[in-house]
Amino acid sequence: MTETLVSFDAATGRYDPVIGLETHVELGTASKMFCGCPASFGAEPNTQVCPVCLGLPGSLPVVNAVAIESAIRIGLALNCAIASWCRFARKNYFYPDMPKNFQISQYDEPLCTNGWLDVTIHPEGAPPQQIRVEIERVHLEEDTGKTQHMGGATGRIHGADYSLVDYNRAGIPLVEIVTKPITGTGPLAPLAARAYVAELRDLLRALGVSDVRMEEGSLRCDVNTSIAPKGSDRWGTRTETKNVNSLRSVERSVRFEIERQAALLDAGHRIVLETRHFHEDSGITTPGRSKEEAQDYRYFPEPDLVPVAPPADWVETLRAALPELPSARRARFQSEWNLSDHDMAALTNAGALDLVAETVAAGAPPEARKWWLGPILERANAQGSTLPGLATLAGISKLGAHGEVLTPERALAWHVARVDELVADGKLNDKLARQVLDGVLAGEGSPDEVIATRGLAIVSDDTALLAAIDEAIAAKPDIAQKIRDGKTAAAGVFVGAVMKATRGQADAARVRELILQRLQ
């Protein structure tokens, strides 16, 4: 399928994009939204189902208290108003992955409304920019089952002969977070969409309400995009790109839609209000169901459930117990570590913030971030991984101070702190430190173990160094004379020779000191 596109720069030169995001988050509750089946991921098909989540005749839903609490906490963290009274509603439509052929959701009475989330965009080659994303609503609903399409050439829905349904996922609590339209970001719209989802993901993780794994579908985005000619006082017709499941895809799908819609408008066509699907492989979107012939969902208050009326004191207790949120945490680190905006952006972009925080927590100074942004990031890039990903990849393990097993990320942070300490103590130089980190990332153990195994400790025994110095001086008496005559800069030649002789394991400054003593 080929689409006529307009280049992104040309498109955003003539049109202003407006975006909006609907994010579905699977909550990490122990049990499902309306029944006691486990909400965990990866069980054998149809083993985590009961009469309720299978929608068997006669079964009835009962609301999971922790799901309500989690949704309220999300609403509070997003600065929303929490409804003092609201209801669930039935959204009626037929689909084989939905056991009751209606979804219990919320309609005109959501649990949380009118919030905001501040998001920082980091455009390449320009200073970071903060925008405030307005949140329209946060509400609770239930997930559907999973369908596998069989037969046909592609395993996709089109051309399949039949389908197989596993209802383990049906009834897992979902929180839907809907933004108001995000305007005025111009060519930064794709980055803004991405930054919003990333910030939201970090916030949800900080709240501990979900494992927010986009690749496993526990965080899923629908991205609305429209464009209008610059200066127009009306918005364009939007399209809704469904199930965009990585940060990169969020950015790409907005970018693609802007280019595609600009081409249509340039050619005098109109944009069709429709659902579109994003293809990870090609980076394009293709049309799904047209919203103009959309279903009438016949919402009405769910008669099997009673209204939810969170008492104000409960809401205030939850508000008071909210953890430090990512933006506040970032601001605190920037100030505590005395970082410039630029330094902060570098840390954030590299995904190193938490790792540096762990490293600092392990006793290193904030400057130890250079190990993360330097050698470790280089290695992650070379392996096509990320900083946190690399730690997992290397299978690093360590026990904490109280004998507890640390996460790979934390374990690596502790190792980095140790390397930094060894350098500060003069036991390692920068070159050796890189080799030690290589060894740690290769799974060879702790820094001290790597030093022992690879024999990487700095040679701090002056006798050994003096022997090497004497040998070097004997080899080049003319240079030695120059130094004796006061041309101390020439000592570098001997330093290099000694470093070579000790295979880099000497402290260059100490070597220079000894050479000058020798020749005075």
Partner 1 sequence: MTAGLTSMTAAEMAAAIASGEVSAVEVTQAHLDRIAAVDGQVHAFLHVAAGQALAAARAVDAKRAAGDALGLLGGVPIAVKDVFATADMPTTCGSRILDGWQPPYESTVTGRLRAAGAIPLGKTNMDEFAMGSSTENSAFGPSHNPWDLTRVPGGSSGGSSAAVAAFEAPLATGTDTGGSIRQPAAVCGIVGVKPTYGGSSRYGVVAFASSLDTPGPLARTVLDAALLHEAMSGHDPCDSTSIDAPVPPVVAAARQADVEGMRIGVVTELGGEGYEPGVLARFSEAVELLESLGAKIVEVSCPHFAYALPAYYLIAPSECSSNLARFDAMRYGLRSGDDGTRSAEEVMSITRGEGFGAEVKRRIILGAYALSSGYYDAYYGKAQQVRTLVIRDFDAAFGQADVLISPSTPTTAFKIGERADDPMAMYLADLCTIPSDLAGNAALSVPCGLAPENGLPVGLQIMAPVLADDRTYRVGAAVEAALHDRWGHPLLAEAPEL
Partner 2 sequence: MSITRDEVAHLARLARLSLADAELGHLAAQLDQIISAVARVQEVTAEDVPPTSHAVPLTNVFRPDQVAPCLTAQEALAAAPAVEQQRFRVPRILAED
Return residues touching partner 1 (CB under 8 A): 50-51, 54-63, 90, 92, 94, 96, 99-102, 161-163, 165, 296, 298-300, 303-306
CA distance 329 to 332: 5
Which lies closer to partner 1 via its Cβ, residue 92 or residue 237?
92
Task: Give the list of residues 6+ apart from residue 337 with CB closer than 8 angstroms, or none.
Answer: 356, 360, 366, 369
- Applying CB under 8 A, which of residues 11, 67, 271, 355 lies at the interface with partner 2? 67
Q: Does 157 bind partner 2 (CB under 8 A)?
A: yes
- In the complex, the smallest distance separating the C-beta of residue 96 from partner 2, rounded to whole angstroms, is 5
Give the position of tokens 């659902």.
275
- In the complex, the smallest distance separating the C-beta of residue 238 from partner 2, rounded to whole angstroms, is 17
Neighbours of 518 (CB within 10 A): 17
Q: Does 374 bind partner 2 (CB under 8 A)?
A: no
Q: Does 497 bind partner 2 (CB under 8 A)?
A: no
- Strands, E assignment, 143-284: 146-150, 162-166, 173-179, 219-229, 239-244, 274-278
> 396 — phi, psi (to 5°)?
-75, 135
CA distances from 336 to 202, 333, 344, 418, 446 (A): 20, 5, 12, 21, 28
- In the complex, the smallest distance separating the C-beta of residue 47 from partner 1, rounded to whole angstroms, is 14
On whether the CB atoms of residues 90 and 104 are closer than 8 A, the answer is yes
- In the complex, the smallest distance separating the C-beta of residue 114 from partner 1, rounded to whole angstroms, is 24
Q: Does 36 bind partner 2 (CB under 8 A)?
A: yes
Binding mask 162-181 for partner 2 (x = CB under 8 A): xxxxxx--------------
CA distances from 440 to 247, 305, 367 (A): 30, 55, 20
Q: Which of residues 255-314 bind partner 2 (CB under 8 A)?
A: 275, 277, 288-289, 295-296, 298, 301, 303, 305-311
Exposure letters 99-120 (e unless 16+ CB within 10 A, then b)? bbebbbbbbebbbbbebebebb
Q: Which does 38 bind (CB under 5 to 8 A by kind): partner 1, partner 2, none?
A: partner 2
Which lies closer to partner 1 via its Cβ, residue 296 or residue 404?
296
Q: Does 31 bind partner 2 (CB under 8 A)?
A: yes
> 228 — phi, psi (to 5°)?
-140, 150
- Applying CB under 8 A, which of residues 65, 126, 153, 321 lies at the interface with partner 2? 65
- In the complex, the smallest distance separating the C-beta of residue 149 from partner 1, rounded to whole angstroms, is 11
Which lies closer to partner 1 via its Cβ, residue 58 or residue 403?
58
Q: Does 155 bind partner 2 (CB under 8 A)?
A: no
CA distance 348 to 202: 12
Q: Which does 436 bind (CB under 5 to 8 A by kind): partner 1, partner 2, none?
A: none
On whether the CB atoms of residues 413 and 355 are closer than 8 A, the answer is yes
Sheet holding 102-105, edge to edge: 102-105, 89-92, 300-301
Q: Which does 57 bind (CB under 5 to 8 A by kind): partner 1, partner 2, none?
A: partner 1
- In the complex, the smallest distance separating the C-beta of residue 289 from partner 1, rounded to whole angstroms, is 13
Which lies closer to partner 1 via its Cβ, residue 202 or residue 302?
302
Let me know if 94 is exposed, middle or buried by CB neighbors in 10 A (0-12, 13-18, 19+).
exposed
Q: Which does 280 bind (CB under 5 to 8 A by kind): partner 1, partner 2, none?
A: none
Q: Which does 58 bind (CB under 5 to 8 A by kind): partner 2, partner 1, none?
A: partner 1
Which lies closer to partner 2 via its Cβ, residue 56 or residue 322?
56
Neighbours of 15 (CB within 10 A): 22
Q: Which residues contact partner 2 (rule: CB under 8 A)?
A: 29-31, 35-38, 44-51, 54, 62-68, 85, 87, 93-96, 147-150, 157, 160-167, 242, 275, 277, 288-289, 295-296, 298, 301, 303, 305-311
